[in-house]
Structure 1
Amino acid sequence: MFVIAVLLLVGTGLTVNSETHSLTYIYTALSKPVGLPGIREFTAMGLLDGRMIDYFDSEHQVKVPRQEWMRERLPADYWERGTQSRKRKQQRFKVNIGILMERMRQSDSDLHVLQWMHGCEGQTQPDGTLRFVPGMKMYAYDGDDFLSFDDKHGVWVAATPEAEPTKKKWDGIQVLREYTKGYLENECIIWLSKFLNYEQQQLKTARMYEI
């Protein structure tokens, strides 16, 4: 279900003028390199209304803009901080795949995939601001749902018995639950609003030069 949801999200993005907008980040890590063209051991991408706005992978090791307005509006230190953040997440994913393989008694000879998707949706209000709608933070392992965050109740939900140890550990860390809820409901919406504004400003500028 997780992989299908990701494909739908990327392939059927909302339009800029729709009432509801979304900001989503998707991370995919493989347990080992596969040696196939275009398949990276680790990838991370940001999506605004389903359109890719930034990208990072384990081969190039740099977070780069995928929209011109991202390149123009965001300073160099934003991309440098983003690159370092992606590198840390890459290492974290590698450790976590190892933990899950050991927990499930899986062989190193097989390929395993850990995915993480998080983000928020905002509904446009009459005054132009965005009202937080559902947030999402979920993990999948080998294509199946593994763990997700229940934003309403501020707890983690295990989709499989193997996820129970992680749920128990993370539910016990109050600062993690508060940070996750705060990010989804506040910080994510702030960035969503900012990116939408940048994109819309570029569209207005482009229309000025239309004949």
Structure 2
Amino acid sequence: MTKKMLLLILVGCLYAEVRGGSHSLRYFYTGTSGLPDFPEFVIVGYVDEAQIMKYDSKSGRAVPKQSWMEEYVRKEDLGYWERQTQISQGQQVLFKGDIQTTMQRYNQTSGGVHTLQEMYGCELRDDGTTAGFEQFAYDGQDFVAFDKETQTWVTPVLAAVITKHKWDADRASNQMLKGYLEQECVEWLIKYMCYRKEMLERKVRPEVRIYDGPGSESNSIALTCMVTGFYPRAIDVTWIRDGETQMDNTYTDGILPNEDGMYQIEKIEIGSDDKCNHTCEVDHGSLNLELNIVW
């Protein structure tokens, strides 16, 4: 993808964000041996610092970790997670063989705890340039890494020389990898960023209801103002009685996240001996005017 093409896309949805910094799409694969209570294979994917997906060998499924990723699939690509699951299952099989091969490279025939890790992805900088990377580590130490410019593999350890020569000989695969890191990976990053921006800028109107129950003291009433399903998080919920803001005798657990990515808050007034003349006032960015629910 050329710089001109990237900038044309950025004008549409990302320019305001990207011009202030760079963004990245990264995937981390971890294969283990000798840890019976730990998944033998795990994949996690990130857009910047936000985890977008996870796969592990115990569940055998790739799943979203952000509500906007779930929404993207529902609207844009219903087969996305099934494809990700199949890809991840295939990588799990390859990693199981790779970790055994790497143990042999180090003359480790059996026993012990060992890990093989892979990190790959791409970066989109604020000036429109890109970077791509793929590297492997074994037991926490650098093993082999891809040099995108020369389309060859480099290694700081003798045990990886055989692997380096084998992978260098597959020029077609290395050329495809370079193309993925420079173009396809960046295209996916832009797609995710655009959709995340669209989702994070949406405004969802809250639902509000009031209900009552016995208070903590005899003959007292507790009124609860339940505000749910709103986005973004910032909101102001206030009890009004006889036209005056009631700050005393109120309790809340604070603003809590829902499973669907929305938020909720309960504001309870306690110690009131009269249910009359109470109003729950809600101020949120999705509302043109404050929402007042009168008991």
Match of 1:131 in 2: 129
**Structure 2 CA distance, aligned partners of 1:170 and 1:109?**
28
Question: Displacement, 1:104?
Answer: 1.6
What's the TM-score, normalizing by structure 1? Answer: 0.84
Q: Which stretch of structure 1 is more off in the superposition, 45-54 or 17-26?
A: 17-26
Picking from 78, 81, 86, the partner of 1:79 is: 81
**Structure 2 CA distance, aligned partners of 1:176 and 1:190?**
20
Match of 2:173 in 1: 176
Amino acid at match of 1:175: A
**Structure 2 CA distance, aligned partners of 1:42 and 1:76?**
25
1:164-193 CA distance string (max 9 Å, x none): 111101111111110111011000100000
Question: Displacement, 1:93?
Answer: 0.4
What's the TM-score, normalizing by structure 2? Answer: 0.61
Q: Say whether the 8 Å CA contact 2:26–2:47 is kept in structure 1.
A: yes
Q: Are residues 1:115 and 2:117 paired?
A: yes
Question: Displacement, 1:209?
Answer: 2.4
Amino acid at match of 2:121: G
Q: Extract structure 1 runs of 4+ deviating beyond 4 A.
A: none
Amino acid at match of 2:140: G
Match of 2:23 in 1: 21
**Structure 2 CA distance, aligned partners of 1:107 and 1:177?**
30
Once the two structures are superposed, the pairs formed by residues 56-205 of structure 1 within 5 Å of their partners are 56-74=55-73, 75-125=77-127, 130-132=128-130, 134-205=131-202
Using CA pairs below 8 Å that are at least 6 residues apart, which structure has the higher relative contact order? 1
Q: Say whether the 8 Å CA contact 2:106–2:159 is kept in structure 1.
A: yes
What stretches of structure 2 of length at least 5 have no aligned partner?
1-16, 204-231, 233-284, 291-295
For residue 106 of structure 1, give the secondary structure of its aligned residue in structure 2: coil
Instruction: Select the structure that is richer in helix.
Output: 1
What stretches of structure 1 of length at least 5 have no aligned partner?
1-15
Instruction: Select the structure that is richer in strand.
Output: 2
Match of 1:11 in 2: none
Question: Displacement, 1:67?
Answer: 0.5
For residue 198 of structure 1, give the secondary structure of its aligned residue in structure 2: helix
For residue 76 of structure 1, give the secondary structure of its aligned residue in structure 2: coil
**Structure 1 CA distance, aligned partners of 2:187 and 2:200?**
20
**Structure 2 CA distance, aligned partners of 1:23 and 1:202?**
18
Amino acid at match of 2:39: R
| Identical-residue share of aligned pairs (%) | 37
Structure of higher CA gyration radius: 2
| Equivalent residue pairs, number | 188
**Structure 1 CA distance, aligned partners of 2:170 and 2:91?**
19
Q: Say whether the 8 Å CA contact 2:60–2:89 is kept in structure 1.
A: yes
Question: Displacement, 1:158?
Answer: 1.3
Q: Say whether the 8 Å CA contact 2:123–2:186 is kept in structure 1.
A: yes
Question: Displacement, 1:136?
Answer: 1.0
Q: Are residues 1:209 and 2:207 paired?
A: no
